[in-house]
Amino acid sequence: MSTEALPQLTAKDFASDQEIRWCPGCGDYAILAQVKKVMPELGIPREKVVFVSGIGCSSRFPYYMNTYGFHSIHGRAPAVATGVKVANPDLTVFIVTGDGDGLSIGGNHLIHAIRRNLDVNILLFNNRIYGLTKGQYSPTSELGKKTKSTPMGSVDNPLHPLSIAIGAEASFVARTVDRNVQHMAEVIKRAAEHKGTSFIEIYQNCNIFNDGAYLFATEKDQKDDTTLYIEHGKPMIFGKEKDKGIRLNGIEPEIVSLKDGSVKEDDLLFHDEKLAEPSLAYLLSRMRYPEFPEPMGVLRCVDQPLFEQGMHRQIEDAIKAKGPGKLEDILCEGDTWTV
């Protein structure tokens, strides 16, 4: 084996020669830039990286990464990625999907990939709209949303990606936003380093069909009061003056003021992303604007058995017990019928 050190890669090394075809101003550009920035920091050769996508604006992602990639079919990226990872456990696999691709036609596949704790990284771009097909409402569109397919307003209750991921007991769950590029890079790197399914919801602006959906989380004059950047082991404090906090009142969160000193930092809810019981993470996923500041950061990060390791262990045990098998024997064993 060669002892030569691997060449130091840069973000440019991960950029493909394909023309990027997203609308000018799309939040996808920022996400792509941060993924390219993070990849060299992981120290993984490009030939060991695979990006798998479904259908949608976000799903063009594999074309723009100078790695292996698979532009699969609508909603089935988790199924394809599962096959890739199980067949090649040493690969680093990213699933790139959107709120429509991942939560509508692909919802079933997404949930089962998460619950299995396959060692893959899921990036869900959430712009609360169908962008590629020109502006229909999506599973995450807010109640009453008027679009081309809901001219009188949506009567569907929206899905909330973080709550779904935590409900499926994802071992790593996080949220970030396209315009906070430093935070986004930090979260993506942590997700990639996590062993197990990592799920990141990325608030992403569609400036053509749903512009301004996340202004509350990006505008300088309000984002400090409407977002809560959580850190492990630290109290939940927010606001421009860092004078507001989240406290538990029974089992319900409440916003409290730290101004007059009657409430101390020790009275606040402290974040613990390592809790085996996911109730705290789920509680955070239910905090939504405008009633609460929306949590940004890692909600949950725990160790759980890996699906692909368990599967390969069973295969090895079967071979030890029965010897190598033949596909023909499997197909012809048991009851057969002539039709």
Q: Is pLDDT of 208 > 90?
A: yes
Is the backbone of residue 52 left (phi > 0), alpha (psi -120 to 50) or beta? beta
Under a CB-based contact definition with an 8 Å cutoff, are residues 101 and 54 in contact? yes
Q: Is pLDDT of 1 > 50?
A: no
Residue with tokens 């799920």: 199
Q: What would the mean pLDDT of 274-294 be, rounded to a whole number?
A: 97
| pLDDT score recorded for residue 5 | 66
Confidence category of residue 147, pLDDT binned at 50, 70, 90: very high
Q: What is the DSSP string of 164-221?
A: HHHHTT-SEEEEEETT-HHHHHHHHHHHHHSSS-EEEEEE--BTTTBTTTTHHHH-TT
| pLDDT score recorded for residue 339 | 81
For the chain, what is the mean pLDDT?
Answer: 95
Confidence category of residue 137, pLDDT binned at 50, 70, 90: very high
**CA–CA distance, 97 with 74 (Å, rounded to integer):** 9
Superfamily of domain 11-213: Thiamin diphosphate (ThDP)-binding fold, Pyr/PP domains (3.40.50.970)
**CA–CA distance, 31 with 200 (Å, rounded to integer):** 12
Strands 92-98 and 49-53: parallel
Confidence category of residue 335, pLDDT binned at 50, 70, 90: confident
| pLDDT score recorded for residue 138 | 97
Q: What would the mean pLDDT of 28-51 be, rounded to a whole number?
A: 97
Residue 187 CA to chain centroid, in angstroms?
Answer: 10
